[in-house]
Chain A
């Protein structure tokens, strides 16, 4: 290994409206080193990587490559310095074939200014590259016919063939199966031995334990510490990431509030989603209980939530509240029974970001603030202001466009809307994704308080700490199947992971 590090980032800062995303963050990566970048959602990992990848501009700090300060203003600049970013949401073009994806913007051409693509060469070279990484497909295969794992390998091939010296992998295993994950980790080892540096962002701490030479921890947009290979272990990483004991984080002591009355509560019987028509899912949530839903991305949890709420069609749904069977085919039905969903994609499905806070909060319950279908603006504004105060939504005025609020406050606006009713069942789908730690704790408190008030709460979460901390019981799904329900006494990261990866049952 070389003495000058390949990549040095010093004092990187970045502000977004309402939040300081990064505050004087440092990161160095040596040649052929695997550095894990860890931290909770909203800790600033993605922002930092987007800065080095050229996708967003930094407000302060320097970036050096081989000790030389460089300007990176676009992904093209980053690529020119040998830095390639493989995003969690793959950026392959699935209407083109493997070779076209690998050589995109670097196509070998002939015919002078006509720039005709040299098809013979492109496929021959692509085939060699693809083989070299152990991907067993023809380079003429359309990307749409490859699995997610294979598409990801195509991205890696593209990065390598573009001369990458450092590859950033953002949550590369989040949609992979166990075997595919195994394979990817082997590839990371190989790349390392070819002296390619890897920045590995992951929530899967056991992967970090396995492959990282060093782990850099971010918290609330700051460096929270660093662990050398020998120091990396699960407990230490968690403590650095969270910055306090989990016990403090999750107030309201889950487990103490158990089912109040037998029979009261929410029940789902034999629900079959369109995505996984072969499996039917049944479970129940007692009044005052928080049922966590764990699983890998794509396990079918969000589809389940959407089917319960009636926004998505299902093959078969039967839900019951207090033993009474309900018919839900559209969201209006669910809403009229007091069943509400706080969806995963806040900006797309949860809010109308161009509406102001008031309009967003009152939208589903407008009739309550109108007479003869005409809105009483005074009443509406007061209701919105009260809702803001009740759950501490930070906005200078209820007339603020929702787009300008921070993620946590946006999430609270979505929640506030349902609290203007009397909720019986609340389904949270990834409630704290992209939210800073402070707001996160507030949301956890709100969830526990709702449960304490007798609401049946379902929390879908891909964050292990979250699902373990907030739930009274945890239902785990794997590829559309409910693989198990864990009682509080059975809670452990390993137990959840086993069920989530389908190694058991």
Chain B
């Protein structure tokens, strides 16, 4: 919990600074835009974060969103799938692809980095192939109001993607931090061997986590597709997996696995989007965009390392104290 508090304070401080330097930060339109971005990025980042907690990685998220985007467009505007079937097909496909990743990783013992790197290349290629490299979109097609609302609408002034993020993070929070499944996930990520000796079906847990990541990726993908309204197969979603990884790591996930929290990932996403906003509002040359992000992530992770070390030292001291007391009393 302390970890999340630290990064939350950092987020608040950053917001205060930006709003002092440029009060436009607090304009409703800016805040709404920011929240929309946080929502869209946050949903898949949670999925990616869960995968990172298993000790794995999912690099194909961005490409998959590109592929899903063009397919969704084609399903709705060319193939007359209808909204419900289109949505379901999109989510099902993503889950299926990630099921494949999960099975390759757990059954064939392949490294997640390699499997999902292949996915990154493969899905991008397929997206460009099925579209002949032409940009797809939804134009002014009718009957898609609901989907447009999901991406661009507001509920009581709050952007829908943000509302969805809140709902999804609430559900995943319960699953990860309060349920048996979540505990197994942490155990598996921390020490798969010991988890197996404790009778946990580690392969099943890992595979399931990839599938969940797929579902969340699809939801984000649908939002992004309608948010941009046109999907370029070569660029849509490019490098988004890196945003997800960065958010997760900022939020306290360790790439070694077994560590992280939903709230941390969400705050991490918010921090990243605020940083992007900050670069805009403070008129920092946008070429420095990535440099700023890189620097903040590095500082965040170093600080976290120091805190963890300190907490552990305190526990060891407690242990010493106890054995000293015991030695005295005996």
Which positions in A face B, CB cutoff 8 Å? Answer: 17-19, 309, 311, 330-332, 334-335, 341, 343, 348-355, 359, 363-364, 366-367, 370, 373-375, 394-396, 400-401, 404-405, 417
Across the interface, do B199 and A352 meet the contact criterion of CB distance under 8 Å? Answer: no
Across the interface, do A401 and B199 meet the contact criterion of CB distance under 8 Å? Answer: no
Among residues of A, the one whose C-beta sits closest to the C-beta of B195 is A352
Among residues of A, the one whose C-beta sits closest to the C-beta of B316 is A17
Q: How far is the CA of A433 from the CA of B29 in the complex (A)?
A: 65
| Subset of 13 A-B contacts with CB under 8 Å | A331-B196, A343-B197, A349-B194, A363-B187, A363-B195, A373-B179, A373-B180, A375-B179, A395-B319, A396-B318, A396-B321, A396-B322, A417-B198
Q: How far is the CA of A330 from the CA of B202 in the complex (A)?
A: 11
Q: Which residues of A contact B179 (CB under 8 A)?
A: 370, 373-375
Q: How far is the CA of A355 from the CA of B181 in the complex (A)?
A: 16
Closest Cβ of chain A to B181, distance in Å, is 7
Across the interface, do B181 and A331 meet the contact criterion of CB distance under 8 Å? Answer: no
Across the interface, do B180 and A18 meet the contact criterion of CB distance under 8 Å? Answer: no
Across the interface, do B197 and A350 meet the contact criterion of CB distance under 8 Å? Answer: yes
Q: Which residues of B contact A400 (CB under 8 A)?
A: 315, 318-319
Closest 7 CB pairs of A and B: A335-B199, A364-B198, A363-B198, A331-B199, A352-B191, A364-B199, A366-B180
Among residues of B, the one whose C-beta sits closest to the C-beta of A369 is B180
Q: Which residues of B contact A395 (CB under 8 A)?
A: 319, 322
Q: Which of B178, B193, B201 contacts A332 (CB 8 A)?
A: B201
Apart from A19-B323, A348-B191, 12 more pairs, CB < 8 Å: A332-B199, A334-B199, A354-B190, A363-B198, A366-B180, A366-B183, A375-B180, A396-B322, A400-B315, A401-B315, A404-B312, A404-B316
Q: Which residues of B contact A354 (CB under 8 A)?
A: 190-191, 258
Q: Which residues of B contact A363 (CB under 8 A)?
A: 183, 187, 195, 198, 200
Q: Which residues of B contact A366 (CB under 8 A)?
A: 180, 183-184
Across the interface, do A341 and B319 meet the contact criterion of CB distance under 8 Å? Answer: no
Among residues of B, the one whose C-beta sits closest to the C-beta of A341 is B197
Among residues of B, the one whose C-beta sits closest to the C-beta of A376 is B178
Among residues of B, the one whose C-beta sits closest to the C-beta of A414 is B197
Q: How far is the CA of A343 from the CA of B197 in the complex (A)?
A: 8
Per-residue CB contact flags for chain B residues 300-326 toward chain A (1 = under 8 Å, else 0) read: 000000000000100110111111001
Q: Which residues of B contact A359 (CB under 8 A)?
A: 183, 187
Number of interface residues of B (CB under 8 A): 31
Across the interface, do A18 and B178 meet the contact criterion of CB distance under 8 Å? Answer: no
Q: How far is the CA of A374 from the CA of B195 in the complex (A)?
A: 19
Across the interface, do B197 and A373 meet the contact criterion of CB distance under 8 Å? Answer: no
Closest Cβ of chain B to A385, distance in Å, is 15
Which positions in B face A, CB cutoff 8 Å? Answer: 174, 178-181, 183-184, 186-187, 190-191, 193-201, 258, 312, 315-316, 318-323, 326
In the complex with contacts A349-B194, A366-B183, A375-B178 CB distance below 8 A: yes
Closest Cβ of chain B to A409, distance in Å, is 10
Q: How far is the CA of A110 from the CA of B197 in the complex (A)?
A: 52
Across the interface, do A17 and B198 meet the contact criterion of CB distance under 8 Å? Answer: no
Q: How far is the CA of A374 from the CA of B181 in the complex (A)?
A: 9
Across the interface, do A350 and B312 meet the contact criterion of CB distance under 8 Å? Answer: no
Q: How far is the CA of A366 from the CA of B197 in the complex (A)?
A: 14
Across the interface, do B322 and A394 meet the contact criterion of CB distance under 8 Å? Answer: yes
Q: How far is the CA of A143 from the CA of B117 in the complex (A)?
A: 35
Across the interface, do B258 and A364 meet the contact criterion of CB distance under 8 Å? Answer: no
Across the interface, do B183 and A375 meet the contact criterion of CB distance under 8 Å? Answer: yes
The A contact surface, by secondary structure, is mixed
Across the interface, do A404 and B315 meet the contact criterion of CB distance under 8 Å? Answer: yes
In the complex with contacts A354-B258, A374-B174, A401-B312, A349-B197 CB distance below 8 A: yes
Q: Which residues of A contact B320 (CB under 8 A)?
A: 17-18
Q: Which of B186, B194, B322 contacts A350 (CB 8 A)?
A: B194
Closest Cβ of chain A to B310, distance in Å, is 13
Q: Which residues of B contact A401 (CB under 8 A)?
A: 312, 315
Q: How far is the CA of A199 from the CA of B258 in the complex (A)?
A: 42
Q: How far is the CA of A309 from the CA of B196 in the complex (A)?
A: 11
Closest Cβ of chain B to A107, distance in Å, is 33
Q: Which residues of B contact A18 (CB under 8 A)?
A: 319-320, 323
Q: Which of B183, B193, B319, B322 contacts A348 (CB 8 A)?
A: B193
Q: Which of B184, B200, B321, B326 contacts A394 (CB 8 A)?
A: B326
Among residues of B, the one whose C-beta sits closest to the C-beta of A15 is B320
In the complex with contacts A364-B200, A366-B183, A375-B183, A404-B195 CB distance below 8 A: no
Q: Which residues of B contact A330 (CB under 8 A)?
A: 201
Closest Cβ of chain A to B132, distance in Å, is 47
Q: Which residues of B contact A364 (CB under 8 A)?
A: 198-200
Closest Cβ of chain A to B314, distance in Å, is 10
Q: How far is the CA of A334 from the CA of B195 in the complex (A)?
A: 15
Across the interface, do B181 and A373 meet the contact criterion of CB distance under 8 Å? Answer: yes
Q: How far is the CA of A331 from the CA of B187 in the complex (A)?
A: 15
Q: How far is the CA of A341 from the CA of B183 in the complex (A)?
A: 21
Q: Which of B174, B196, B315 contacts A311 (CB 8 A)?
A: B196
Q: Which residues of B contact A394 (CB under 8 A)?
A: 322-323, 326
Q: How far is the CA of A188 from the CA of B289 in the complex (A)?
A: 67
Q: Which residues of A contact B181 (CB under 8 A)?
A: 373
Q: Which residues of B contact A373 (CB under 8 A)?
A: 179-181
Name the residue among A350, A355, A370, A400 with the largest chain B CB count within 10 angstroms. Answer: A355
Q: How far is the CA of A344 from the CA of B180 in the complex (A)?
A: 27
Q: Which residues of A contact B323 (CB under 8 A)?
A: 18-19, 394
Q: How far is the CA of A229 from the CA of B191 in the complex (A)?
A: 48
Across the interface, do A351 and B194 meet the contact criterion of CB distance under 8 Å? Answer: yes
Q: How far is the CA of A353 from the CA of B194 in the complex (A)?
A: 9
Closest Cβ of chain A to B39, distance in Å, is 26
Q: Which residues of A contact B190 (CB under 8 A)?
A: 352, 354-355
Across the interface, do B187 and A355 meet the contact criterion of CB distance under 8 Å? Answer: yes
Q: Which residues of B contact A404 (CB under 8 A)?
A: 312, 315-316, 319
Q: How far is the CA of A400 from the CA of B320 in the complex (A)?
A: 12
Across the interface, do B316 and A311 meet the contact criterion of CB distance under 8 Å? Answer: no
Closest Cβ of chain B to A45, distance in Å, is 22
Q: Which residues of A contact B174 (CB under 8 A)?
A: 374
Q: How far is the CA of A404 from the CA of B198 in the complex (A)?
A: 20
Closest Cβ of chain A to B186, distance in Å, is 8
Among residues of A, the one whose C-beta sits closest to the C-beta of B320 is A17
Q: How far is the CA of A364 from the CA of B202 in the complex (A)?
A: 12
Name the residue among A353, A366, A401, A405 with the largest chain B CB count within 10 angstroms. Answer: A366
Closest Cβ of chain B to A301, distance in Å, is 17
Closest Cβ of chain A to B153, distance in Å, is 33
Closest Cβ of chain A to B174, distance in Å, is 7
Closest Cβ of chain A to B258, distance in Å, is 7
Q: Which residues of B contact A309 (CB under 8 A)?
A: 197
Closest Cβ of chain B to A201, distance in Å, is 27
Q: Which residues of B contact A351 (CB under 8 A)?
A: 191, 194
Closest Cβ of chain A to B184, distance in Å, is 8
Q: How far is the CA of A421 from the CA of B187 in the complex (A)?
A: 20
